[in-house]
Structure formats: structure tokens, C-alpha cells
Amino acid sequence: MSTREEEAMRDPLGAGIYQAIACRFFHNYAVIRDYAARRGDVGDLPSALDHAALRQRYDRLIEEHLLERPDTATSVRAFIDFAACVLFDLKLNEILIESSIVGSERDLEEVLTAIQRIGDWVNKKELAEFAAKLRSAAPAT
């Protein structure tokens, strides 16, 4: 990947959102690891991260990034991935009867916030597409 491509990929907002997703995965890892531990040997599985520290980090990431408005497709994709990840967590937790990193009620609120942020950006895009259609349909002067 060239430096220019690497530069184009840089997206601090997306990075923050993906960090929050990583925290969710670490939480799920801890839950499943604990399942194994309760049943016997965990083999050489790495230790789980401390829940309180993970939760603190997650809360900070959400506070810093989830309310921010994404202004590029790259950032919006991170929001979509975040919403999908939380929905996946909700499904998973229903099967395992476990709580997600923040609990199902806040999960749902976070999905709604992410969807709102996605909607804000897509709405702008839609208006731009509509304006472009109008321009192309207008008779040439």
C-alpha cells in the first residue's frame, strides 16, 4: 500500500469506533473463556482483560466518538459495523443468556445513536444525488 493510500485510509473517528468494537469482542472473549474455565482446563488461552478497565475504556470511546457526526464513507462504514456488532451481541447474548459489555438496554440505545449518525450522512448524500439528478434533467441553457 502506498503512503498516499495509507493516508487516504486514515480515519480517527473510524479508529475510535473500531476500538469500541474491539472492547466488545474482548468482553465476549472473557465470557466464553470463563465458560471454558468453569468446565475445566482453558489450556494456553491468553488471560482475559480486566472487566472494569475494559468497561471504562469502552465508555470513554463511546462518549468521545459515538456522538460525533461522520463526514466520510469510511467513518460511516465504521458506524454500520458498530451497529451490526451490537446487534450481533444482542443475538449472541440471547443465546448465551449473558450480558454484553453494557447490557441490552444500552446496546439498543447505542445502535439507535449509530443509526442516527449513519442517517445524517446518508441524508446529505441523498440530497446531493437528488440535486445531481435535477441538474442533469434540466434543459441545457
Partner 1 sequence: MTIDKTASLADQLSSFKDPQRRFVVEAMMLRAEHAYREAQQRAVQYGINLPADPDPPSFGELTERYNKLMEEWAPESVTDAGGALAYSDLVAAIVWSELTSSSEGNCRIVSTERDLGYALELLASARRWLNEQDIADVSREARLAGKGGAI
Minimal distance in Å, beta carbon 70 to partner 1?
Answer: 11
Written in H, E and C, the secondary structure of 84-122 is HHHHHHHHHHHHHCCCCCCCHHHHHHHHHHHHHHHHHHH
Contact flags string 11-50 toward partner 1, x per CB under 8 A: ----------------------------------------
Contact flags string 92-111 toward partner 1, x per CB under 8 A: --xx--------xx--xx-x
Name the one residue in this structure whose C-alpha cell is 466488545. Answer: 24
Interaction of residue 4 with partner 1, rule CB under 8 A: yes
- Residue 64: what residue type? E
The one segment of 31-39, 49-57, 58-66, 113-121 that binds partner 1 by CB under 8 A: 113-121
Could you tell me where the beta strands, DSSP code E, fall in the chain? none
Q: Which of 59, 68, 81, 98 binds partner 1 (CB under 8 A)?
A: 81
Q: Does the CA dihedral 102-105-108-110 come out positive or negative? A: negative
